[in-house]
């Protein structure tokens, strides 16, 4: 099978999976069919549309390839009609989600490199492609975005996958980069959910130590200044 065809199949499968994931939130919140369609389409297509709009290289692919919009609409309608609450259904969606994370991270980064952007902006585009749809969905329903704090690593692997794609793309190894990015997110994404790997959430303050040092130096200096002023006021002592 042509690798490009395979990657496109994974891409569309990710659209469908994320459409179902987004629309499933509408079920939990008790929304109507419009709510299902809104959350499903936004989750499935939001990141890619932002990426294509930022690049300014034509219409977003979601508007030019009929499979994308049709997949998002169909997935949202399916989630409206069929509750996917079983363990196997959840596992299937999780698998599709991590596969899509790698595919979209790599696709976004590769499009940035192809458009002439530097590595860091290209990695940024990859992360936007993979995560922005879910962020907009969560914000729309007034929830803290799932990629923020105390959740299994997600955006972190997107950054890694996009960075890997940039390296391979700059060495003219597009297909190998795409495959490696997908594999990284598949293996480590599933492991993160299995073992609940998260980033540290402890707040850090690198200025706290400096403040303590300044306080320790300032107090003796203030005491010396006070003693000097008293001596000046009372020279007979």
Please report, in tens digits, the pLDDT of each residue of the chain (237 residues total). 666 776 777 788 889 989 999 998 998 899 999 999 999 999 999 999 999 999 998 899 899 999 999 999 999 999 999 988 788 888 888 888 898 899 899 999 999 999 999 999 999 999 999 999 999 999 999 998 988 877 889 999 999 999 999 999 999 998 899 899 999 999 999 999 999 898 877 666 666 655 565 556 555 555 555 666 656 666 555
pLDDT at residue number 213: 54
pLDDT confidence of residue 116: 93
Separation CA 36–CA 104 (nearest Å):
23
3-state SS record for the chain: CCHHHHHHHHHHHHHHHHHHHHHHHHHHHCCCHHHHHHHHHHHHHHHHHHHHHHHCCCCCHHHHCHHHHHHHHHHHHHHHHCCCCCHHHHHHHHHHHHHHHHHHHHHHHHHHHHCCCCHHHHHHHHHHHHHHHHHHHHHHCCCCCCCCCCCCCCHHHHHHHHHHHHHHHHCCCHHHHHHHHHHHHHHHHHHHHHHCCCCCCCCCCHHHHHHHHHHHHHHHHHHHHHHHHHHHHCCCC
- d(C-alpha 127, C-alpha 156), whole Å: 9
Residue 181 confidence (pLDDT): 94
Give the Cα separation of 97 and 157 in Å (integer).
12
- pLDDT value of residue 212: 60
Q: What's the pLDDT score for residue 85?
A: 79
pLDDT of 11 reads 81
């Amino acid at each position: 099978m042509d690798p490009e065809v395979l990657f496109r199949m994974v891409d569309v499968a990710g659209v469908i999976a994320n459409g179902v994931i987004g629309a499933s939130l509408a079920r939990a919140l008790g929304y109507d069919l419009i709510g299902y369609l809104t959350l499903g389409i936004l989750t499935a297509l939001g990141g890619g549309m932002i990426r294509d709009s930022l690049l300014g290289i034509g219409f977003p692919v979601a508007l030019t390839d009929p499979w994308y919009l049709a997949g998002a609409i169909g997935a949202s309608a399916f989630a409206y009609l069929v509750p996917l609450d079983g363990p196997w259904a959840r596992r299937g969606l999780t698998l599709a989600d991590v596969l899509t994370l790698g595919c979209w991270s790599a696709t976004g980064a590769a499009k940035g490199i192809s458009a002439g952007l530097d590595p860091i902006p290209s990695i940024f585009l990859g992360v936007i492609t993979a995560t922005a749809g879910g962020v907009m969905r969560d914000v729309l329903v007034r929830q803290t975005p799932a990629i923020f704090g105390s959740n299994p690593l997600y955006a972190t692997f997107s950054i890694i996958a996009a960075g890997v794609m940039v390296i391979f793309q700059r060495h003219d190894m597009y297909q190998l980069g795409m495959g490696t990015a997908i594999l990284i997110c598949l293996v480590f994404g599933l492991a993160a959910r299995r073992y609940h790997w998260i980033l540290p959430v402890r707040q850090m303050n690198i200025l706290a130590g400096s403040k303590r040092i300044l306080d320790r130096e300032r107090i003796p200096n203030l005491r010396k200044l006070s003693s000097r002023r008293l001596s000046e006021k009372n020279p007979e002592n």
